[in-house]
Amino acid sequence: MRFYVTTAIDYVNAKPHIGHAYEKVIADIIARFQRLRGKKVFFLTGTDENAQKNSQAAKEAGIPTKKFVDRNVKYFKELTGILNISNDHFIRTTEESHIKISQNIFKKVLDKGDIYKGFYQGLYCEGCESYLTEKDLVDGKCPEHQKPPKPLKEEAYFFKLSKYKDQIIKLLESPTFVIPKEKRNEMLSRIKSDELKDLCVSRKGLNWGIDIPVDKKHKIYVWFDALINYVSALDYPDGKKFKEFWPADAHVIGKGINWFHSVIWPAMLISAGIKPPRTILVHGYLTVNGQKISKSLGAQIDPAEIVKRYEADHLRYFFAKEIPMGEDGDFSSKNLADRVNNELVANISNFCYRTLSFINRYSESRIGKIARGEWEKKLLKEIEKKIENIHKCYLDYNFRDAIKQILEIGDIGNRYFQGNEPWVLIKNDPGKCKEVLAFSANIVKDLAILLKPIIPEFAGKVEKQLNLKDLKWRDLKKPLENHRTGKAKILFRKIEGKVS
Ligand SMILES: [Zn+2]
């Protein structure tokens, strides 16, 4: 009856961009869907503040690191409001409790003999904050950061990752451990072909980060502490939330950090005597008008600017409909406007508004007896089947196909409304007209429930206009009859004018 979903925590070396928005929306759809079906949900997001990257960016900005991260964290917190993200908690890894818990887990793994002292020599990418192997490089450069890594040798602590190879392979062989399966196969073939080396989990001589509890000359490698946020936010080991919500049901992450989550993280957990998470859900990267996200795109990649011009629901809908889970996708205002105008306005909003305003006008704002003829019976069967499929799509994190079928229900509603011509029927057979409108209103109610995880503002408006509150998935099965409605209002307007 409980469900724990997380996003990755974000570096705060710059303001959030549209890629951050995408990940948060995915996790939010999952959280809202699980609440809708009656689960108790804990939804976590937050910021990764101990990274050297943050400290470097602060230095460049000429601001003390703590002040710099405090300032940027604000933008990430604001983003959750802008996008209607329903997170239950926002963790910052500079919080005292996170620091203590990270040190506690480090010590636990050390005491177990899974962390030992040695020397590290390798190629270090400052962008990744991680050592790379020759194999990772493309033309001698880190493919992610387009810079050659620096050779580095230092005294260091190592985590015995190699010891857990067989257990991790076993985890990865479960079809639900990493979704989608292409991303699982990538990890499986990498872990099987590579000799799994021990992982360096310390950095010497830094003045930013979490101290290794037994050796103050070293800081805990930022990835080691960052991953721990998922349990420190639940007050591991004795917190009520930890007992209730761990293991996580879904860690939502970008493809670039899959290895850290599906190989390193479970090994750390097993070593510390903690259960591994249930699912790592991997999404792709976004481009904007075909271009890779970079600072030079400016306002084009700023989710706050995009939502200013459109609506949070527009952007959320676009993400869910346009980008198949696990694949890369492209954002453009033109595509967003097309989706909004052709789908949300022409189909969903049009049907809901017509039905609700006709009920205002021709049925004294009442949903009375529902039409139950042959046509309606046939349509109900079709809708029921689609609802079942939509449920399955949501559970499989396939939001795109969920929406496709929701739009088909919208089509059914539109065809039914148009075919009955209630504006004519009201003159010839007002009783029948009201029954038709009541049948239509029940489809409106279903659409609001089905779309609630994706476009919550829309669903809230429909609920209000139906004079209902807090609809749940189970309300799909309850016919709405003998009920007074509220006042109909237009739900989505066409995006007009030039879109860039
Ligand atoms: Zn890199």
Ligand 1 centroid from CA 138, angstroms: 11
Ligand 1 centroid from CA 133, angstroms: 11
Instruction: Identify the pLDDT of residue 136.
Output: 86
Residues identified as active-site? 17, 20, 125, 128, 142, 145, 292, 295
Instruction: Identify the pLDDT of residue 134.
Output: 85
Ligand 1 centroid from CA 136, angstroms: 10
Ligand 1 centroid from CA 152, angstroms: 15
Instruction: Identify the pLDDT of residue 498.
Output: 65
Tens of pLDDT, residue by residue over 313-366, are: 999 999 999 999 999 999 999 999 999 999 999 999 999 999 999 999 999 999
Ligand 1 centroid from CA 345, angstroms: 43
Where exactly are the structural domains of the chain?
A: 2-305, 342-484
Tens of pLDDT, residue by residue over 6-53, are: 999 999 999 999 999 999 999 999 999 999 999 999 999 999 999 988
Ligand 1 centroid from CA 141, angstroms: 8
Instruction: Identify the pLDDT of residue 297.
Output: 86
Structure tokens given for 418: 């148009």
Ligand 1 centroid from CA 124, angstroms: 8
Rounded Cα gap, residues 205 and 34, in angstroms: 45
Fold classified for 342-484: Isoleucyl-tRNA Synthetase; Domain 1 (1.10.730)
Rounded Cα gap, residues 129 and 107, in angstroms: 22
Closest residue by Cα to residue 366 from 466, 483, 467 = 483
Strand-by-strand arrangement of the 329-331 sheet: 291-292, 286-288, 329-331
Structure tokens given for 309: 């011009």
Rounded Cα gap, residues 363 and 386, in angstroms: 29
Pick the CATH number of 2-305 from 3.30.420.10, 1.20.1090.10, 3.40.50.620, 1.10.760.10: 3.40.50.620
Cα 112 from chain centroid (whole Å): 35
pLDDT in tens, the chain (500 residues): 999 999 999 999 999 999 999 999 999 999 999 999 999 999 999 999 999 889 989 999 999 999 999 999 999 999 999 999 999 999 999 999 999 999 999 999 999 999 999 998 889 888 887 788 888 899 999 988 899 999 988 899 999 999 999 999 999 999 999 999 999 999 999 999 877 889 999 988 788 999 999 999 999 999 999 999 999 999 999 999 999 999 999 999 999 999 999 999 999 999 999 999 999 999 999 999 999 998 888 888 999 999 999 999 999 999 999 999 999 999 999 999 999 999 999 999 999 999 999 999 999 999 999 999 999 999 999 999 999 999 999 999 999 999 999 999 999 999 999 999 999 999 999 999 999 999 999 999 999 999 999 999 999 999 999 999 999 999 999 999 999 999 999 999 999 876 65
Fill in the amino acid letter for 279: T
**Where are the alpha helices (H) located in 158-311, listed in sequence order?**
165-173, 181-193, 222-232, 240-245, 258-259, 265-271, 303-309
Beta bridge partners of 288: 291, 331
Rounded Cα gap, residues 234 and 242, in angstroms: 5
Instruction: Identify the pLDDT of residue 211.
Output: 97
Q: Do domains 2-305 and 342-484 have the same CATH topology?
A: no
Ligand 1 centroid from CA 218, angstroms: 22
Instruction: Identify the pLDDT of residue 500.
Output: 57
Q: Are 79 and 303 in contact (CB under 8 A)?
A: yes
Q: What residues pack around ion ligand 1 (CB closer than 5 A)?
A: 125, 127-128, 142, 144-145
Ligand 1 centroid from CA 142, angstroms: 5
Instruction: Identify the pLDDT of residue 436.
Output: 98
